[in-house]
A and B are shown apart, each in its own frame.
Chain A
Amino acid sequence: GTMKVSVSNIEFVPKEHWNFPPFFTIQPVSATKEKQLKLWRELIIDYCIHQNTFSIVPANFKFFKNSSINRNLTQEGIDIIITSLIQSGNAEWEDNVKSNLRIIWKSPETLAAEIYTWACTNEILGTVYTIYELHSGDENVDSGFHGMDIVIVRRALEILEVNKKCKIIRGGSIEEDGVKFLAIA
Chain B
Amino acid sequence: MRRKVGVSAVKKKQEETNQYSKVGKTLESNKISAVTEVMSKFRTTLADFAMKHRDRINSDPEFRQQFHSMCVSLGVDPLASSKGFWADLLGVGDFYFELGQKIIEISVQTRSINGGIIPLSTILERLNARAQSQFSSSSSSQSSVITEDDVKRAIEKLVTLSSGYRMIKLSKDNIVITSVPLEVSSDHEQLMSVAHDDGGMVSEVSMREMQGWSSDRFYRIINPLLREGMLWIDDNYGDQRYYFYSMWKDSTG
Chain A interface (Cβ within 8 Å of chain B)?
A: 16-17, 19-25, 27-29, 31-32, 35-36, 70-71
Contact = CB atoms under 8 A, between A and B. Distances in A.
Nearest to A71: B236
Given A29-B227, A35-B113, A22 B252 contact: no
6 contacts: A20-B248, A22-B243, A28-B233, A29-B227, A32-B115, A36-B232
A24 B233 CA distance: 10
A52 B252 CA distance: 31
B100 to A, nearest CB: 26
Contacts of A35: 112-113
Interface of B: 112-113, 115, 226-227, 229, 232-236, 241, 243, 245, 248-249, 252
Contacts of A29: 226-227, 229
A22 B245 CA distance: 9
A20 B245 contact: yes
A21 B227 contact: no
B243 A21 contact: yes
Contacts of A16: 249, 252
A70 B241 CA distance: 14
A69 B17 CA distance: 68
Contacts of B115: 32
B233 A22 contact: yes
Contacts of A31: 112, 229
Interface of A is mostly: helix
A24 B229 CA distance: 16
B41 to A, nearest CB: 56
B221 to A, nearest CB: 16
A24 B232 CA distance: 11
A19 B252 contact: yes
B232 A32 contact: yes
A93 to B, nearest CB: 28
Nearest to B115: A32
Given A16-B249, A21-B243, A27 B232 contact: yes
A40 B51 CA distance: 53
B229 A22 contact: no
Nearest to A21: B234
B243 A20 contact: yes
Contacts of A27: 232-233
Most buried by A among B115, B233, B241: B233
Given A20-B232, A25-B235, 17 more contacts: A17-B113, A20-B243, A20-B245, A20-B249, A21-B236, A21-B241, A22-B232, A22-B233, A22-B245, A25-B232, A28-B226, A28-B233, A29-B227, A31-B112, A32-B229, A32-B232, A35-B112
A27 B226 CA distance: 10
B241 to A, nearest CB: 7
A42 to B, nearest CB: 13
A25 B233 contact: yes
A22 B234 contact: yes
Contacts of A36: 232
B214 to A, nearest CB: 23
A101 to B, nearest CB: 25
Contacts of B233: 22, 25, 27-28
A99 B234 CA distance: 28
A64 to B, nearest CB: 15
Nearest to B240: A25
A30 to B, nearest CB: 10
A71 B243 CA distance: 15
A19 B245 CA distance: 11
Nearest to B227: A29
Nearest to B235: A25
A28 B227 CA distance: 9
A28 B232 CA distance: 9
A36 B232 CA distance: 10
Contacts of A32: 115, 229, 232
Given A16-B249, A20-B248, A25 B234 contact: yes
